[in-house]
Amino acid sequence: RRRKMVERVTTLMSQPEHIRNIGIVAHIDHGKTTLSDNLLAGAGMISEEIAGKACWMDSDEEEQARGITIDSSNVSMVHEYGGEEFLINMIDTPGHVDFGGDVTRAMRAVDGAVVLVDAVEGTMPQTETVLRQALKEGVRPVLFVNKVDRLINELQVDEMEMQIRLGKVIDKVNKLIKGMNEEAYKNGWKLDAAEGTVAFGSALYNWAISIPYMKKSGVSFKDVYDCCKAGDMKTLAKSSPLCQVVLDMVVNHLPDPLDAQKRRVPIIWQHGDQSTTEGQSMLNCDPEGPACLMVTDISFDPHAGEVATGRLFSGTLRRGSELYVMGTAKRVNRLTQVGIFMGAERIEVESLNAGNIAAVTGLKDAIVGSTVSTMMEMQTFEDLKHYSEPVMTVAVEAKNMKDLPKLVTVLRQVGKEDPTVLVNINEETGEHLISGMGELHLEIITHRIHRDKGVEIVTTPPIVVYRETITSTAGPVEGKSPNRHNRFYLEFEPLPDDVVQKIKDGDISMNLPALERRDALLEAGFDKDEAKSLVAIEATNMFFDMTKGIQYLNETMELVLEGWREALAGGPLADEQVQNVKIRLVDVKLHEDAIHRGPAQVIPAVRGAVKGGLLMAGDSLLEPMQIIQITVPQDHMGAATAQIQGRRGQVFDMKSEGDTITVVGKAPVAELFGFAGDVRSATEGRAMWSTEFAGFETVPAGMLKEVVKEIRKRKGLKEQIPEPADYLA
């Protein structure tokens, strides 16, 4: 039976019109895991007894214990529709805000999304976030309204009210789509129950209906209502199987790769030239063209090693294929295995062609987000945009000294697997630092290091990640090398918010071709001289070389940038990352003899000038903020509001709906430790809440000294805040 399935999968994978690459996106708890499992079981990819008991896509124990899905893992299934077979590749996406970064990369690999919404709760903040991410990537949505049984059994609505409520959910999602991308909405992406882009049902009880399916099968709203009312789910599951109705909708309304790539390539490869061979080949999903792969996930398999998963937009991959990873040393990465997913299993295949999701080994140089090609050089895909940034850090140590080398390797892996995690070493203390998107995210990562990677570790409680930035201009500031023969003159200026946003969105990026970059800078308000003098962007900082005709500067520039980057990695105030700073190099004096302008001279000179200059330009501290939404029964409103206001937070919106109210506010991450437990006890466990990253804001002046002192102490730095002269002597 297995061999037969392998045959079916491998036949279908070479017929792009029979492929659908999809993701399910939802707010946490709306039933994504249940839906995925039951679809897989229904399609015969896993036994039905296993589904419902074991969670296939939640392969991690702690995910099951917590009931949330964390990793994007892949599964595939074969579905028959209209006498033909289709291969459906499904990428799982996390439903928890702490892991927002994963949703973005999953959306890059797929062409369609099933937006899942709980019929009782309706759309939630995270529904909005994931839908927005899908639309940004050019991914087409269909809607599944889940937990319809709850409407009838818990809320006791009648048949009429059931239809009204379902209609309201559709209207709300349509309103969101229209607001996010009006053009797509008008061009046919508006959800329409009559057309079949909406289905309703109960993932848990394995049934679903859509209007086209009702017409075909004769099942009516009344039948559904009566069966639910009578608690007869079995009859429904037989007359309207979940898997059939949902996968029919997927096959019928979500695009195949041929169709999708025509539309998506101009979005996800915006800066590429569509008339080139690779451009044409990707637009046409051509298996004969050069291989162009975007890596969206990296995982570690105890047998195969590092497995890179990604979407192949053009060409064909085989074992032994020689590929290049853009943005790294131009060396050949030779594929050792080429695989595809069958059910939840990765199987090796002879070759894999454009339009599929590939799982390959041998891509040594790739990280999540890499553009990989048989061509030595190609324009990269758009950067994966993260809507969140790491806001908390823990320090980890190996319990046994002998595990230290292993810990170093494992931490490198962790950083590769999850692009929302940052791993650093504190030079002063030798500690290893892991930064993530929240308390829960970090707990899970550290737990995995122990469980999956077998390294016993000791961790500190999480601490907040701060940033430094300047508030005024300074310069020219002179930086001298230790031998005094080399001098660098720098000017400092805060970057305006709109420029910072453009950098974050990738609209200003070193990945742009030079001419486009120049235009983008002019448009953002930089003058002509600056527009052609940008030499580097690091995080949201820019470095311009405004000098002209200085001998040896070209060959020294890498060292200059190295010194600049080192200073940005840890600012003078609290050794936190520097952001939103524009630096102009306005003059340079270099020793004639290369020996006297080596790394040991240039790097400290520039680093010192940058740190000194930051202090002169009013270096200040920023703290991460989070938007908090708490939904509670009306009579718990006071408790919910107090939970935000009591944490240096402010409440700025209240929305009531029926007998519940949603309180929306903002508070600093530093005040959110233990939030989950506090909200639970303050509301007798009746609150639903979510948080979302809301950027960095200035630490209130009254607290600044104390916070800086605290950070410096923790990091083992001198208590005294440095003066510019300390760096510029």
Name the binding residues for GTP. 26-33, 92-96, 146-149
Q: How far is CA 250 from CA 29, 84, 445, 539, in A?
A: 22, 14, 34, 39
242-253 and 32-42 helices cross at what angle (nearest 10)? 90
Tokens representing 675 are: 């939030």
Min dist CB 101 to ligand GDP, Å, is: 18
**Cβ nearer to ligand GDP, comparing 25 with 191:** 25
SS3 for 368-427, per residue?
Answer: CCCEEECCCCCCCCCCCCCCCCCCEEEEEEECCHHHHHHHHHHHHHHHHHCCCCEEEECC
**Cβ nearer to ligand GDP, comparing 147 with 715:** 147
Tokens representing 519 are: 């235009």
Tokens representing 698 are: 């200035």
Q: Kindly compute the dihedral angle of the four CA atoms of residues 661, 664, 668, 671, in this order, to the nearest 10 degrees.
A: 0
Min dist CB 656 to ligand GDP, Å, is: 24
What is the C-alpha end-to-end distance of the chain, expressed in Å?
A: 76
Closest CA to 247 of 111, 142, 174: 142
**Cβ nearer to ligand GDP, comparing 13 with 236:** 236
**Cβ nearer to ligand GDP, comparing 33 with 261:** 33
Closest CA to 166 of 134, 188, 143, 189: 143
Q: How far apart are CA 169 and CA 163, in angstroms?
A: 10
CB 353 within 8 A of CB 14: yes
Q: In degrees rounded to 5, what are phi and psi of residue 11?
A: -70, -45
Min dist CB 412 to ligand GDP, Å, is: 30
Closest CA to 190 of 107, 253, 137, 136: 253
DSSP string, 158-199: -HHHHHHHHHHHHHHHHHHHHHH-HHHIIIIIS--TTTTSEE
Tokens representing 708 are: 């800086």
**Cβ nearer to ligand GDP, comparing 67 with 305:** 67
Burial class for 498, CB neighbours closer than 10 Å (0-12, 13-18, 19+): exposed
**Cβ nearer to ligand GDP, comparing 155 with 546:** 155
Residues of the binding site? 26-33, 92-96, 146-149
Contact positions vs ligand GDP (CB under 6 A): 26, 28-34, 67-69, 95, 146-147, 149-150, 202-204
CB 529 within 8 A of CB 548: no
Min dist CB 57 to ligand GDP, Å, is: 8
User: To which residue do tokens 């797509």 refer?
Assistant: 184
Helix, strand or coil, per DSSP, at residue 331: coil
**Cβ nearer to ligand GDP, comparing 31 with 42:** 31
Min dist CB 638 to ligand GDP, Å, is: 28
Tokens representing 403 are: 């595990």
Min dist CB 165 to ligand GDP, Å, is: 15
CA–CA–CA angle 150, 151, 156 (5° rounding): 105
**Cβ nearer to ligand GDP, comparing 68 with 531:** 68
**Cβ nearer to ligand GDP, comparing 26 with 637:** 26
Min dist CB 28 to ligand GDP, Å, is: 5
Q: CB neighbours (10 Å) of residue 27? A: 26
Count each helix (H run) and each strand (E run) in the chain, helices first. 25, 33
CB 127 within 8 A of CB 177: no
Q: How far apart are CA 435 and CA 444, in angstroms?
A: 12
**Cβ nearer to ligand GDP, comparing 26 with 500:** 26
Q: How far is CA 468 from CA 392, 577, 624, 668, in A?
A: 15, 6, 11, 16
Min dist CB 99 to ligand GDP, Å, is: 12
**Cβ nearer to ligand GDP, comparing 34 with 533:** 34
**Cβ nearer to ligand GDP, comparing 204 with 214:** 204
